């Protein structure tokens, strides 16, 4: 069974940066979308950023200009560069790889922005 392994989360001060990575444990064919979501306890999971196989991107308004998503379809890997982090970015971040046969989700990585 394919697993997505996330890394890069942690504790950072406001204004700092983190880079999240997500890699599949084995090859996934026909990936058409890769993305990141986040969830704050008590809230629903929300979209952070998506990137299509064609390179088109979509960002939540709250992260535009601060976060950058990138992906490598050949390596089944997606990244999220997060700059100018704010306390309200604190959440568990989940990666998503969407293929023709279904969605694959990571286990989540905690990002905490605090002084």
How far is 49 from 66, CA to CA, in rounded Å? 11
Could you report the per-residue pLDDT of 56-95, keeping only the tens digit for each? Answer: 999 999 999 999 999 998 899 999 999 999 999 999 999 9
Pairing mode, strands 102-105 and 46-52: unpaired
How far is 8 from 115, CA to CA, in rounded Å? 19
Could you report the per-residue pLDDT of 10-67, keeping only the tens digit for each? Answer: 999 999 999 999 999 888 888 899 999 999 988 999 999 999 999 999 999 999 999 9
């Amino acid at each position: 069974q394919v697993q997505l392994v996330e890394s890069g989360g942690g504790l950072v001060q406001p204004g700092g940066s983190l880079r999240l990575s997500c890699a599949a444990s084995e090859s996934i064919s026909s990936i058409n979308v890769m993305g990141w979501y986040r969830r704050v306890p008590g809230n629903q999971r929300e979209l952070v950023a998506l990137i299509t196989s064609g390179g088109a991107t979509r960002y939540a308004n709250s992260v535009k200009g601060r976060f950058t998503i990138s992906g490598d379809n050949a390596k089944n890997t997606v990244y999220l560069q997060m700059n100018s982090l704010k306390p309200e970015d604190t959440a568990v971040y989940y990666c998503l790889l969407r293929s023709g046969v279904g969605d694959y989700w990571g286990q989540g990585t905690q990002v905490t922005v605090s002084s």
